[in-house]
A and B are shown apart, each in its own frame.
Chain A
Amino acid sequence: MEGTVVRPSTTGKARGAKPSLVVERVTKRFGAFVAVDDVSLVVGRGEFVCFLGPSGCGKTTLLRAIAGLDPPDEGRIIQDGRDVSALPPSARDFGIVFQSYALFPNMTVAANVGYGLVSQRKPRAEIDRRVRDLLDLVGLADQAWKYPAQLSGGQQQRVALARALAMDPGLLLLDEPLSALDALVRAHLREEIKALQRRLGITTIMVTHDQEEALSIADRVVVMNRGRIEQVGTPEEVYRHPRTLFVAGFVGRMNSLPGTVLDPAHIQVGAVQFTCRAAAGRAAGEAVHICLRPEDLLPAAPAEVGTRLAATVRGVEYLGSIARAMLDAAGLPLVMEVQDSALRRLALRPGAAIEIVVPADRVLLFDCTE
């Protein structure tokens, strides 16, 4: 079946030999609103994929279409070579964790985890053993007889994870599983989920609106906007080489300014001319968006090559390990990110003057129509 699958260019490369999941031209409408618009995607076996995007971008709808909870209107979904597009959730092969966890409040942790196993009429002892193993796996073996309300948010999340894994699904779906948790617990659980996923080798799709979460946990990130996929790529690809202005602005911070192509090596932005590799091949006079990462604005050192700018510090936002300086560079408002050590060394404070360098290969360009 894989041979016949058309792989649109957006899908990037799948890792495994055989794809675990193929989404082909899937569309889902709610009335006149197109929630998912002709989306195609291939997920490799054992891969961890994140759907990332702002709220309303269709990422949860796509996940629910894959689960069969809201079946798509058009397109095909093929899981392990089987066309499941039209099947109800109960006929598909997945485990799911919701943002709310949806733990059954009137059942103990053990009963929650064993809920699906009991329905399969397996012997009691086997169920008990499996439940124990799963709770060991998520580190909650000693909490088996508690009720969900007696657990912390993070613990509840792990129970939900254990329950989703209980039936040994071929696909694990996580719908914003961490967004109801405190920042610290969140970061910790993020690592745990990733480690667990590696250990089990289970194909996993996670929906999130938190770009830091997506970048840190995923093998590949699928950035979505308005029902469409903007870019699919590894976290580094998505961050360093955003394909669209939307991805550039949504993933990480960005200085984004309108400019004009002067010649194949220079862009005019306000009174400043930026030297720029990406301008090659563009026609002079073309209107473009120029994007600069805050950390790519470097304090000028003799060795640095690129566009040199004299700037005035307007304000400093101190964040601990790093700091953000709001600059006025020849009339351009720019945000620069520096390490705390650099902040001390440069003595950046409002009113201070500083020279910065923008390396030519760090300047990103996008069409103005986007």
Chain B
Amino acid sequence: MAVVAAAKVRPVWSADDKLLVAVVAAASLFLAIFLLFPLTTLFLESFRDQRGAFVGFANYLRYFETPALVGSLWNSVWTAVVTTVIVIPAAFVFAYAMTRSAVPGKALFRAIALIPILAPSLLPALALIYVFGNQGMLRNLLFGHSIYGPLGIVVAQVFYTFPHAFLILATALSGADARLYEAAEALRASRLRVLRTVTLPMARYGMVSASFVVFTLVLTDFGIPKVIGGSFPVLATEVYKQVVGQQNFQMGAVVGVVLLVPALFAFAADQWAQRRQVAVVGVRAVPFVPKPRPLRDGPLFLFCVLVSVLMLGLVGVAVWGSLVTFWPWNLTLSLRNYAFGTFISEGWGTWWTSVRLSFWTAVIGAPLVFVFAYAMERTRKGAVVASLLRLLAIIPLAVPGLVLGIAYIFFFNAPANPLGFLYGTLAILVLNSMVHFYTVGHLASLTQLKSLDPEFEAVSASLKVPILRTFSSVILPMSLPVLLDVAIYLFVNAMTTVSAVVFLYAPGIMPASVAVVQMDEAGFASPAAAMATVILLTSAAVKGVHVAVDDWLSARTQAWKRR
């Protein structure tokens, strides 16, 4: 046989290939326009002066020569570190109680611990002001210290970040392999030794991950320092002051980039930790079921009660404060603070704006994120683009809302941008929220898609069924619960977020969360608390509907899930 090079194969594209590549292209375009280009513009803008001329590092030099600005960086970092150091052990013990003990009332404790997620970050801060503020009932307990400043910031952040840390740690701890514990017991290891050699190593990467998440949340949160920071400057309030107060966009860009650096660092470390986490739980793991042990469960139960009381207390104070006629002189209850029209021109309209914003973010965002994730995961062509896109899709997690907000100003407000018509509309708020919270939905979708048999599409192709039909009759029905989860996540976050939208709202479309900031700034603390309560109730109601729909869905799909 003559040795001739075998013919190269140039695969023909099927209709399915074309469709998937088209969706991947659409996803690339979406993330490029609404994430990559704005961030690039922000980055370039930090090297320019007001007139747009390139000035190199001049803006950065000015930044580091201004003591107030550099001080705010340091303040941000150390309050974030202190918060992390407090939250992680507390959340770990709580998560341990929920996953590794026989404490009664776990469902209730869990629900209470998650309340802060449903409210804007300002809510705990407002509550702290009621209790320890200038007119607070317990301000004497602070022995002359002021709640306005680092103390208030740290305490409020602890409440705000607790559920985030708890969720991560609970996930890390719940993946326990009972066989490891049986092996340790069979080898007669003491309980302390089991904790040290089995439990803690297993949760190690969860702790790293949770630490970085908390650190980043505190570093980039705007609401809490705005409300309770007083004259204590942090990065987030500084960037707001530069951009909104002084219209100094260039310095705003610099602070944005500076803010991005630690966030990106934390993000990279978190990615590293998460990759390690995967290997811990094997496929054949036997779930761990804790047995009652009073000596362990008793103290843990008390701890859970304490956390719950603090959580409920703080939320309760905010709600109560919002119902009080005039704090602290007239404590009779009334709905006076809920007549938002008397405090802010858009009144209840801000709530309606938030509902519309959240609704569209959820209804458009969830299917979009899922379809994009599906195309990235399943496309057979353009694999390189798809993998770059997967990288791009996790970047929003590292980008603080404030940075994204300023980046949107630079990009969409530029006169040359044909998409400029979006600026100042509800649409840009929706798009911004979708991108800001993109990553969690993307990762949830990927996890779901990975749990589906990768050969569904191959079987469909062999049966000559177009991929669109398999997607709509197999993939989608099976992924509905996840899709719903993502939608609710988007809704709640769009409802409570302040940081990005505070730069992007326009008259007539002020979201409720921004109204909280505005009313608080104008001295209307109780109406601000009232609005925060309304936001909390809205999120909670949506969450309640979610649970009901989820039950209905799982009842409907019972037939094919039952073994």
Query: Which A residues are closer than 8 A to B by beta carbons?
Result: 6, 8, 24-27, 38, 67-69, 71-76, 85-92, 94-96, 98, 100, 102, 104-107, 115-116, 119-120, 147-150, 163-164, 166-167, 169
- Is A100 within 8 A of B455, CB to CB? yes
| B window 434-489: CB within 8 A of A | 453, 455-456, 458-466, 469, 473-474, 477-478
The yes or no answer to B561 lying at the interface (CB within 8 A) is yes
Given A24-B6, A106-B557, A147-B560, also A87-B464 (CB < 8 A) = no
- Is B11 within 8 A of A88, CB to CB? yes
Would you mind naming 28 contact pairs between A and B with Cβ atoms under 8 Å apart? A6-B1, A25-B7, A75-B9, A76-B6, A76-B7, A85-B7, A86-B9, A86-B12, A88-B12, A88-B17, A90-B16, A91-B14, A95-B462, A96-B458, A98-B455, A100-B455, A104-B456, A104-B474, A107-B473, A107-B560, A119-B463, A148-B560, A149-B560, A149-B563, A150-B562, A150-B563, A167-B462, A167-B464
Q: Which residues does chain A contribute within 8 Å of B14, judged by CB atoms?
A: 88-91
Q: Which residues does chain B contribute within 8 Å of A6, judged by CB atoms?
A: 1
Minimum CB–CB distance from B40 to chain A (whole Å) comes to 31
- Is A102 within 8 A of B455, CB to CB? yes
Q: Which residues does chain A contribute within 8 Å of B466, judged by CB atoms?
A: 119
- Is B456 within 8 A of A102, CB to CB? yes
- Is A119 within 8 A of B455, CB to CB? no
Give the interface centre of B9, B14, B453, B473 by most chain A CB atoms within 10 Å: B9
A-B contact count (CB 8 A): 119
Q: Which residues does chain A contribute within 8 Å of B477, judged by CB atoms?
A: 106
Partner of A74, one of B7, B473, B559: B7
- Is A105 within 8 A of B469, CB to CB? no
| B window 1-24: CB within 8 A of A | 1, 5-17
Q: Which residues does chain B contribute within 8 Å of A166, judged by CB atoms?
A: 463
CA distance A210 to B237 in the complex (A): 67
A90-B14, A147-B560, A149-B563 are known contacts; what are 8 more A-B pairs with Cβ within 8 Å?
A71-B11, A74-B5, A74-B8, A75-B9, A102-B455, A107-B560, A115-B463, A163-B459
Q: Which residues does chain A contribute within 8 Å of B461, judged by CB atoms?
A: 68-69, 88-90
Interface pairs A-B: 10 shortest CB-CB: A116-B463, A88-B14, A25-B6, A102-B455, A89-B461, A147-B560, A74-B6, A71-B11, A119-B465, A90-B461
CA distance A94 to B557 in the complex (A): 32
- Is A96 within 8 A of B459, CB to CB? yes
Query: Which B residues are closer than 8 A to A by beta carbons?
Result: 1, 5-17, 453, 455-456, 458-466, 469, 473-474, 477-478, 557, 559-563
Minimum CB–CB distance from B261 to chain A (whole Å) comes to 34
Give the interface centre of A38, A71, A85, A102 by most chain B CB atoms within 10 Å: A102
Q: Which residues does chain A contribute within 8 Å of B16, judged by CB atoms?
A: 88, 90
- Is B561 within 8 A of A67, CB to CB? no
- Is B6 within 8 A of A106, CB to CB? no
Give the interface centre of A25, A69, A90 by most chain B CB atoms within 10 Å: A90
Minimum CB–CB distance from A163 to chain B (whole Å) comes to 7
Minimum CB–CB distance from A53 to chain B (whole Å) comes to 21
Q: Which residues does chain B contribute within 8 Å of A150, judged by CB atoms?
A: 562-563
Partner of B458, one of A26, A69, A169: A69
Q: Which residues does chain B contribute within 8 Å of A163, judged by CB atoms?
A: 459, 463
- Is A8 within 8 A of B1, CB to CB? yes
Partner of B6, one of A75, A91, A94, A115: A75
Which A residue sits closest to B557, measured CB to CB? A106
- Is A89 within 8 A of B7, CB to CB? no
Q: Which residues does chain B contribute within 8 Å of A74, judged by CB atoms?
A: 5-9
Which A residue sits closest to B464, measured CB to CB? A90
Minimum CB–CB distance from A156 to chain B (whole Å) comes to 12
CA distance A24 to B6 in the complex (A): 8
Q: Which residues does chain A contribute within 8 Å of B456, judged by CB atoms?
A: 102, 104
Minimum CB–CB distance from A10 to chain B (whole Å) comes to 11
- Is B12 within 8 A of A119, CB to CB? no
Minimum CB–CB distance from A250 to chain B (whole Å) comes to 26
- Is B464 within 8 A of A102, CB to CB? no
Which A residue sits closest to B466, measured CB to CB? A119
Q: Which residues does chain A contribute within 8 Å of B469, judged by CB atoms?
A: 119
CA distance A252 to B9 in the complex (A): 37
Q: Which residues does chain B contribute within 8 Å of A105, judged by CB atoms?
A: 478, 560-561
Partner of A149, one of B6, B7, B455, B561: B561
Minimum CB–CB distance from B18 to chain A (whole Å) comes to 10
Q: Which residues does chain B contribute within 8 Å of A67, judged by CB atoms?
A: 458, 462
- Is B478 within 8 A of A106, CB to CB? yes
Given A102-B458, A119-B465, A167-B464, also A86-B453 (CB < 8 A) = no
- Is A164 within 8 A of B8, CB to CB? no
Given A74-B9, A91-B14, A98-B458, also A107-B465 (CB < 8 A) = no
CA distance A275 to B208 in the complex (A): 69
Minimum CB–CB distance from B107 to chain A (whole Å) comes to 27
- Is A85 within 8 A of B9, CB to CB? yes
Which B residue sits closest to A67, measured CB to CB? B462
CA distance A91 to B456 in the complex (A): 17
Q: Which residues does chain A contribute within 8 Å of B563, judged by CB atoms?
A: 149-150
Given A94-B462, A104-B474, A107-B474, also A88-B6 (CB < 8 A) = no
Minimum CB–CB distance from A97 to chain B (whole Å) comes to 9
Q: Which residues does chain A contribute within 8 Å of B15, judged by CB atoms?
A: 90
Minimum CB–CB distance from B9 to chain A (whole Å) comes to 5
Minimum CB–CB distance from B17 to chain A (whole Å) comes to 6
CA distance A25 to B16 in the complex (A): 28
CA distance A169 to B7 in the complex (A): 27
Q: Which residues does chain A contribute within 8 Å of B1, judged by CB atoms?
A: 6, 8
Q: Which residues does chain B contribute within 8 Å of A38, judged by CB atoms?
A: 6
Given A6-B1, A148-B560, A149-B561, also A89-B462 (CB < 8 A) = yes
Given A26-B6, A88-B17, A106-B478, also A149-B11 (CB < 8 A) = no
Partner of B464, one of A26, A27, A120: A120
Minimum CB–CB distance from A81 to chain B (whole Å) comes to 17
Minimum CB–CB distance from B475 to chain A (whole Å) comes to 10
- Is A116 within 8 A of B464, CB to CB? yes
Which A residue sits closest to B381, measured CB to CB? A88
CA distance A75 to B563 in the complex (A): 45
Which A residue sits closest to B463, measured CB to CB? A116
CA distance A73 to B14 in the complex (A): 17
Minimum CB–CB distance from B453 to chain A (whole Å) comes to 5
CA distance A71 to B11 in the complex (A): 7
Given A88-B11, A106-B560, also A100-B458 (CB < 8 A) = no
CA distance A194 to B559 in the complex (A): 33
Minimum CB–CB distance from B457 to chain A (whole Å) comes to 9
Which B residue sits closest to A74, measured CB to CB? B6
Minimum CB–CB distance from B331 to chain A (whole Å) comes to 57
Q: Which residues does chain A contribute within 8 Å of B474, judged by CB atoms?
A: 104, 106-107
Minimum CB–CB distance from A34 to chain B (whole Å) comes to 13
Minimum CB–CB distance from A79 to chain B (whole Å) comes to 13
- Is A71 within 8 A of B9, CB to CB? yes
Which B residue sits closest to A160, measured CB to CB? B459
Q: Which residues does chain A contribute within 8 Å of B559, judged by CB atoms?
A: 147
CA distance A147 to B478 in the complex (A): 14
Partner of B13, one of A27, A85, A88: A88
CA distance A100 to B461 in the complex (A): 16
- Is A72 within 8 A of B464, CB to CB? no
Which B residue sits closest to A8, measured CB to CB? B1
- Is A89 within 8 A of B560, CB to CB? no
Q: Which residues does chain A contribute within 8 Å of B10, judged by CB atoms?
A: 86
Minimum CB–CB distance from A307 to chain B (whole Å) comes to 40
CA distance A163 to B465 in the complex (A): 13
CA distance A254 to B5 in the complex (A): 38
Q: Which residues does chain A contribute within 8 Å of B455, judged by CB atoms?
A: 98, 100, 102
Minimum CB–CB distance from B7 to chain A (whole Å) comes to 6
